[in-house]
Structure 1
Amino acid sequence: MPDQTTPHPGAPQPPPTPPNPFPNFPPPTPTSPLRVVVADDNPVVRAGLTALLSGRADITVVAEAADGREAYEATHLQRPDVVLLDVRMPGVDGISALPYLVRIAPVVMLTYSRESEIVQEALRRGAGGYLVHGEFTADELVAAVRDIKQGRAHFTPSAAGALLAQLRQAQGSVGLLPEGLGSMAVGSTFAPSSSSENLSQVQPDVGQSSSYRARFQLSTREAEIMDHIASGMNNQQIAATCFISEKTVKNHINRIFAKLHSTSRSEAAAKWLGTAPGSARGLG
């Protein structure tokens, strides 16, 4: 009986392993998947998030939690790369658990709660992002998880609007914001920066905003929408932030353009921010 371990003489032979062209460097090792803890009191939401994230080759859900206490225990035990945390949960809620979780891992709020006060409190307590259900796609959620690990914070339109409101109230004070959120790209992502200069450039001074509103004869709502346009929001994001339809946003923009004698968003923003030629309004 022939030896089962000896290949048949006519059988095809596997190709030889190519030599390492860089003998002084070891071959690359596969990247470990991102480890995620999902905390939400709704079991259907938890299961859906787990299935979605675990379907990506570079992400694995290492634990689920139904409240803040379970989230802390799972995070303390598993040491994940990212925690997805709901706001309203029985027992210990997400906002209460947040300061303890961020000592261990970056935390992204993933919730239906869009109130400005809650968004701002989450940021004050260290959240690295704030995503409101219904305002992001599956791919955007996955991108947020990957980016949070790299220190790039994500915000959906409602949360971005709340942050804009906070900036108005603070009038340029960056002390209320999580460290590193200096350069602002409203809509979903905030790129880290060590300087607050860009914030003052995209956020008009409240007093100046009032005078310019009177000068251009904009209503309060039109001035709010003009602020959003100047900060880079598109119509969909403005609609979500202001809780109005995109059609209503377009109607407001048409009236704004007429009052500012502008034919484009960039021209209107330049006049509103005072960067258009001959404008008296400053940026600092």
Structure 2
Amino acid sequence: MDEPTTVLVADDNSVVRSVLREMLHGQGPLSVVGEAGDGERALELASTLRPDVTLLDHRMPRRDGLSVIASISAHSRVLMLTRTVDEDVVLAAIRAGAAGYLVHGQFGPAELRQAIQAVAGGEAHLSPTAARVLVSSVRRAPEPRTADRHGLSRREREVMELIAGGLSNGAIANRLVVAVKTVENHVNRVFAKLGARTRDEATAIWRGPRRRA
């Protein structure tokens, strides 16, 4: 008899963990061998249990999902399972070593099981939104070097342009269809990279060199 594919479930929401466990219970060669409610515990269990696949959420306490992907990947294949569809997060997860990326609401029990088996077998599996992000990233033409002079990512440059256009964080969130908290995180990173303390100062730094170029 074939050995079951072992799975570690890592999500800070106990209800989500319970639902995932139910979705996988009694479904052929799949076995949930552990659960974690934060990134630090997920890494600990991955290193000791060495599951075939770790279902990993993005936003978790102690350590978030992105920060432990590379380390967990040394012991287990990582399948991101999250509500986050922000382009920077999707790309960062794949670059860090995630073998798959599923978005809540875009898969059912059958696809989850298929994704786990695919990832366990060395393949990749992406939700439609994550797949579009990757395709868009690959197809995007190289940008002028001046666009990267401050070290901003594509999404951070997009946020900075909207800041320069006078939009509030809430308005930016609506424009980009992301959470306000996500925008706040982008703004904090933008200000740090620009060395700015206010929106006006950031705009002056961002716009000034372009006019002189």
By the TM > 0.5 criterion, same fold? yes
Question: CA 1:166 to 1:35, structure 2 compared with 1: closer, same or farther past 3 Å?
Answer: same
User: Which residue of structure 2 lines up, in the alignment, with residue 129 of structure 1?
Assistant: 100
Counterpart pick for 2:117 among 146, 168, 185 = 146
Q: Does 1:114 align with 2:85?
A: yes
User: Which residue of structure 2 lines up, in the alignment, with residue 90 of structure 1?
Assistant: 61
Q: How many residues align?
A: 144
TM-score (norm 1): 0.49
Q: Map 1:23-42 to 2 at 5 A.
A: 30-42=1-13
Paired residue type of 2:41: E
Between structure 1 and structure 2, the one with the greater Rg is: 1
Partners of 2:141 and 2:51 lie apart in 1 by: 34
- List structure 1 runs of 4+ shifted beyond 2 angstroms: 168-171
Gaps of at least 5 residues in structure 2 are 143-175, 178-213
Q: Secondary structure at the match of 1:122?
A: helix
Identity %: 43
Ranked by relative contact order (alpha carbons within 8 Å, sequence separation 6 or more), the top structure is 2
User: Which residue of structure 2 lines up, in the alignment, with residue 168 of structure 1?
Assistant: 139
Q: Secondary structure at the match of 2:19?
A: helix
Gaps of at least 5 residues in structure 1 are 1-29, 172-241, 244-284
Partners of 2:56 and 2:130 lie apart in 1 by: 15
Counterpart pick for 1:78 among 49, 56, 79 = 49
Counterpart pick for 2:73 among 102, 115, 119 = 102
Paired residue type of 2:83: Y
Aligned-pair CA distance for 1:54: 2.2
Partners of 1:33 and 1:105 lie apart in 2 by: 15
Counterpart pick for 1:58 among 18, 23, 29 = 29
TM-score (norm 2): 0.65
Paired residue type of 2:29: D
Paired residue type of 1:153: A
In terms of fraction of residues, the more helix-rich structure is: 2
Q: Does 1:49 align with 2:11?
A: no
Question: CA 1:170 to 1:65, structure 2 compared with 1: closer, same or farther past 3 Å?
Answer: farther
Aligned-pair CA distance for 1:51: 1.6
